[in-house]
Amino acid sequence: MTTAAGRLAAATGADDVASPCISVCEMSPHNGFCLGCYRTLDEIAAWSVLDAATRRAIVDALPARRAMAERPC
């Protein structure tokens, strides 16, 4: 099974940042994050035109978003 982390590690080239998409595309009404990759709709829509530094910043924020989303209310 390929994980998002594995796909990110498999990205080729120094400036290439793979998409964290895992094809579970459902937006949370509570926090606005995709339940699969934890990006916002704006981040998902802009991904193909973002520079590598911005993509890396988004990817770096995903673990904290996931932890926040998985915390019980």
Range with the poorest average pLDDT among 11-15, 31-35, 49-53: 11-15
Q: What is the pLDDT of residues 29-50, one digit of tens each?
A: 999 999 999 999 999 999 999 9
* Sequence ranges of the domains in the chain: 17-70
3-state secondary structure (DSSP) of residue 5: helix
Spell out the residues 6+ positions from residue 28 whose beta carbon is closer than 8 angstroms to its own: 34, 35, 69
